[in-house]
Amino acid sequence: MKFIVSSSLLLKNIQVLGGILNTNNTLPILDYFLFEVSENLLNITASDLETTLSANIKIDSSDTGSLAVPAKLLIDTLKTFPEQPLTFNISENNTIEISSNHGKYSLAYAKGDEFPKTLAISDASNSTISSQVLYQAINTTIFASGNDDLRPVMSGVFFQFSNENSTFVATDAHKLVRYVRTDYTSEKLVEFIMPKKPLTVLKGILMSEDIDVDIEYNESNAKFTFSNLSLTCRLIDGKYPNYEAVIPKENPNVLTIDRGLFLNSAKRVSIFSNKTTHQIRLKITGNELIISAEDLDYSNKAEERLSCNYNGDDIQIGFNSRFLVEMLSNLSSDEVKLELSLPNRAGILTPTKLGSDSEQITMLVMPVMLNS
């Protein structure tokens, strides 16, 4: 078998596929890319058993066949080439010879049929969503998902498509983010939980794309198809917690403040907070916000005053500074609104201005008990 391919086109695609590979694989074959040639088309696949990513690229060949190529060796080799055609010659003695303008390189390959088969999605439902909307949804929510192996449903992002909107939710029980789009709907109600790894891979690819993404899913798997790529993954099994129940409805105390000032102030003050609790205190009186932190073990303390717009009763509330900073960093509006009810109830953070009228972002952060 023989085929000719552009070195830069091949490198660009295998670098994307490389995001799936694990450093320690239980099966040696997972350190390989599967190459499937069928008349002028090369399909390349990478898998970690849970997630599979494939790319189709055009080549010059009249042959058909499949083989598994060592992934790291191929990526490292191709990185050093300028753009040029590469000829791949597959010989009977289990070696591939790659011919470039500069020389020849031989590497051992494995049989293609040793590579795990991609999950087939039977009885699939379909949805289509813009890549920019999907990117925004993943980017806004993924940081809030948990890492608790005992609660796997919280370690992913909850997707819900209904006839009213598309909703994406992530929570780790300390913070929660809900991203809603009213311009993307589905005729029937669809719910599934996507794991973090395939979402991180998708986020990296979709950042620079502006195309439609086709989503197929059933109870156990989902498949995302766009441009020349398709990603198939196993979904997280289980029922997502009732997140609506934890979002407080009545929040009479509303603080509006410049996001950049609030973020930088919280970052600075948090340096002086207790290294275990990361607690910072927000004291709001009139149109002034006082942010303070204290570490009694080391006699460190800091306090900053910011002007803000505030409607409501004077209030003091404590938050874990890491969660607050993370949320403020993941918003892009110039101003944010913090809605509060009581010192022991969650605070709700929302951007005052969004990029689209059909977009809604709600971030919830649980308070911490204040040291008196």
| Bridge pairing between strands 32-38 and 41-47 | antiparallel
pLDDT score for 51: 96
- 254 with 240, same domain: the answer is no
Percent above pLDDT 90 for the chain: 90
Please state the rounded mean pLDDT for residues 170-176: 96
> In which region does residue 224 sit, left (phi positive, over 0), alpha (psi from -120 to 50) or beta (all else)?
beta
pLDDT score for 26: 87
Q: Does some domain include residue 119?
A: no
Number of domains in the chain: 3
Instruction: Mark which of 94, 114, 134 sits at the end of a domain.
Output: 114
Say what the pTM is. Answer: 0.93
- What's the chain's Rg over C-alpha atoms? 25
Name which of 267, 254, 255 is nearest 328 in CA terms.
Answer: 267
Q: Does some domain include residue 120?
A: no
Name which of 243, 216, 247, 49 is nearest 157 in CA terms.
Answer: 243
Q: At what angle do helices 7-17 and 71-78 cross, to 10 degrees?
A: 140
> How many whole angstroms from its chain centre is CA 300?
36
Residues 77-92 pLDDT 10s: 999 999 999 999 998 8
pLDDT score for 93: 87
pLDDT score for 39: 85
Per-residue pLDDT for 371 more than 90?
Answer: no
Cβ contact 347:321 at 8 Å: no
- 240 with 252, same domain: the answer is no
Which residue has tokens 């490198």?
11
- Reported as a pLDDT band with limits 50, 70 and 90, residue 372 is low
CA distance 31 to 115: 10
Measured in residues, the chain has a length of 372
- 265 with 352, same domain: the answer is yes
Per-residue pLDDT for 345 more than 70?
Answer: yes
Instruction: Mark which of 219, 244, 269 sits at the end of a domain.
Output: 244
- Reported as a pLDDT band with limits 50, 70 and 90, residue 120 is confident
Quickly count: other Cβ atoms within 10 Å of residue 119's Cβ: 18
- Residue 147 sits in a domain of what CATH number? 3.10.150.10
pLDDT score for 370: 85
Please state the rounded mean pLDDT for residues 53-79: 96
Cβ contact 283:274 at 8 Å: no
Residues 270-321 pLDDT 10s: 999 999 999 999 999 999 999 999 999 999 999 999 999 999 999 999 999 9
pLDDT score for 92: 82
Cα diameter, the chain = 81
| Domain with 283 in it | 248-368
Cβ contact 265:287 at 8 Å: no
- 228 with 161, same domain: the answer is yes
Q: What is the DSSP letter of 257?
A: E
Least confident of 157-161, 188-192, 268-272: 188-192
